[in-house]
Structure 1
Amino acid sequence: MPLDHAADPSTEAEPFLDALADLCDHYDATAESSYVTLPDPASKVHYLTAGEGPPLLLLHGLGSTAHVWVPLFDALTDRFTVYAPDRPGRGLSTAVDYHETGFREFGVEYVADFLDALGIEETAVMGNSLGGFQSLALAVDRPERVRRLCIVGAPAGLSRSIPHLFRLFDLPVVGDLLFDLFAVETVADARRQYRRINVEDDSALPDAYFEPGVVAEGLPGQRESLRSLMETLGSFRGMAPEFDLRGDLDSVEVPARFVWGTDDYFWEPEVGRPAVERMGDAELVELRDHGHMPWLEPGDDAERAAVEFLTE
């Protein structure tokens, strides 16, 4: 069975779990779908786990779920036990109103609680986009929990500038209309959105990759939670000051690698270079013609850059 999952009494979970099973089947990945109960407001967090070896925590980006990491499972699970949680408000995790919790502190707090619940004291961490921000913030706030740090794709936290399209989400009325316009209802919708923001070339991605994300949009609380998070991240003027980590990175001493595409939609690699230079043991790997989620592009350049570093 490619996906083994704990019983879930909610009928809403079934299509999502079926889509995850199809995705694991496509990539010949054997994974387990599980839940852990954390202090409120995180409450119930759903996660995928697979493999054997030391722990590796995988943190996804803003609008995705843990399913985005499944294409890497084959390369990782011979070396690590991977843990990929759905961020609260995404996938099958409990929906959270980020107007009430914020994200800078909560994004670290629930991850630390998640590791505590699983009995993990220290772990390698890999994050993308907003998950990259979480990874860096975890290394700043809880350095004892992070053994090695790999950021794939531009992380939030290294610039307050954001693309003009995302600034529009903060405008009254216009932001709500745009948010609804970007709703993903079909695999074709998801592919178009990925080509616009996440990848330069989607030809390596099967339809099965997009199905969990499409199904997840219909899960209770998903859209509302995502909208609340987007409204706390920034404004028309740019990302909120509390999401600027640049002044804190001098304290990060764990080995770190940034795997960054030259065609990243959000920030080019040069944006990250000053941060890399401020950290004690960090390096930047640039991948030409790769986008914001570089491991999903054709070829294995991003996969190789990440796995070689994590296994050093």
Structure 2
Amino acid sequence: MPLTTTPLERPAPAERAFVDALEGYAATVDVDVASRTATVDGDRVHYLEAGDGPPLLCLHGLSTTAATWLPLFDALAEHFRVVAPDRPGRGLSAPVDYATVDLREFGVDYVTGLLDALDVDATRVLGNSLGGMQALHLQVDHPERVERTCLVGAPGGLSRKVPWTFRATYAPKVGPWLFRRSIADSLADAREQWTLINVEDDGALDDALLEVGLAGERVPGQTDSLVSLNTNAGTLRGGMHERFVVRDQVAASAIPTRFVWGTEDFFWPPAVGRPVADAMPDGEMVVLDDHGHTPWLEPTTKARDAVREFLVD
């Protein structure tokens, strides 16, 4: 179905191209999807919206955009008002220099600001990777805003350790250069990167989603925002900053939480999350064999089914 868009004020050519790519991908998803914007602390936050039920907030990963969630919209929009924002500095949301903000505080404040702008007091939350970390920070810092949390793919926030190939991008001076070199600039490069980091089997990975990512990197300020966020997320020696790790606080949280975790996740194995889930008063773990970091984009429906079952309950 076609994407319903809210016209941007004086859009740049690259922004129009991003909308075109988003419309192309949305056309492959059998659900009514709206592209909207809200103002949070004076800045634009772009989000995708579908459905007309209780709210469900979807928070995407480090290098992706809200479009990553579109394959789940058909399973969720019949039950929820699904809201999937582009994190500031991604997609059509305003760019931000993450060297000038407190990453944890900013990541939570933009989410609560968006909820306020949408008149949402509390919501169910779906998060992946960095978005999973933001979901856990929201759960710990503002439990009154969260009804239940589903983490699909390994979330940040449970361990300081990251793969050495990724930790190298935290290195002073050379790290940002290495990270920029890893950003795809062609369809073939994008598919190679996704297969390396996000999916174990790219058989269901649509070129149209990859085109959205490529178009997003051409929007002014977005790649710089991404590099600044990654550069300030950790150190070469220590890995992810300790401030982001909320393992103990999450283990003590009474908010119903499900981890949906692939055995082939690039960042962390399920063993990182299982003790947390087991310690939680209402936590659980679903392990998916031969699934990667974005398991709902694998050729099976196992991740989608696990997410819907928990969130709809």
Using the size of structure 2 for normalisation, the TM-score is 0.96
Secondary structure in structure 2 of the residue aligned to 1:104: helix
Q: How many residues align?
A: 310
Q: Name the aligned partner's letter for residue 160 of structure 1.
A: R
Aligned to 1:307: 308
Checking the alignment, whether the CA contact within 8 Å between 1:249 and 1:278 is kept in structure 2 is no
Aligned to 2:289: 288
Query: Which of 11, 15, 18 lines up with 1:16 in the alignment?
Result: 18
Q: Displacement of 1:172 after TM fit?
A: 3.5
1:147-158 equivalent positions in 2, closer than 5 A:
147-158=147-158
Aligned to 1:83: 83
Aligned to 1:241: 242
List per-residue Cα deviations over 1:198-250 (Å, max 9, x = no partner): 00011111211211101001111111111111111101121111011112124
Secondary structure in structure 1 of the residue aligned to 2:285: strand
Once residues 27 and 6 of structure 1 are traced to their aligned partners in structure 2, the CA distance between those partners, rounded to angstroms, is 19
Once residues 177 and 255 of structure 2 are traced to their aligned partners in structure 1, the CA distance between those partners, rounded to angstroms, is 43
1:186 paired with 2:186, answer yes
1:166-181 equivalent positions in 2, closer than 5 A:
166-181=166-181
Q: Name the aligned partner's letter for residue 280 of structure 1.
A: P
Once residues 192 and 227 of structure 2 are traced to their aligned partners in structure 1, the CA distance between those partners, rounded to angstroms, is 20
1:68-217 equivalent positions in 2, closer than 5 A:
68-217=68-217
Q: Displacement of 1:277 after TM fit?
A: 2.3
Once residues 211 and 23 of structure 1 are traced to their aligned partners in structure 2, the CA distance between those partners, rounded to angstroms, is 8
Q: Please, which runs of 5 or more residues in structure 1 have no aligned partner?
A: none
Aligned to 2:6: 6
Once residues 131 and 301 of structure 2 are traced to their aligned partners in structure 1, the CA distance between those partners, rounded to angstroms, is 21
Once residues 163 and 187 of structure 2 are traced to their aligned partners in structure 1, the CA distance between those partners, rounded to angstroms, is 25
Once residues 108 and 251 of structure 1 are traced to their aligned partners in structure 2, the CA distance between those partners, rounded to angstroms, is 19
Q: Displacement of 1:120 after TM fit?
A: 0.5
Q: Name the aligned partner's letter for residue 88 of structure 1.
A: P
Once residues 172 and 113 of structure 1 are traced to their aligned partners in structure 2, the CA distance between those partners, rounded to angstroms, is 32
CA RMSD in angstroms, aligned pairs only: 1.1
Runs of 4+ in 1 over 3 A off after TM superposition: none
Secondary structure in structure 1 of the residue aligned to 2:30: coil
Aligned to 1:228: 228
Q: Displacement of 1:173 after TM fit?
A: 4.1
Aligned to 1:276: 277
List per-residue Cα deviations over 1:166-223 (Å, max 9, x = no partner): 1111224432331232121122111000011000011111211211101001111111
Checking the alignment, whether the CA contact within 8 Å between 1:58 and 1:69 is kept in structure 2 is yes
Q: Displacement of 1:262 after TM fit?
A: 0.4
Using the size of structure 1 for normalisation, the TM-score is 0.97
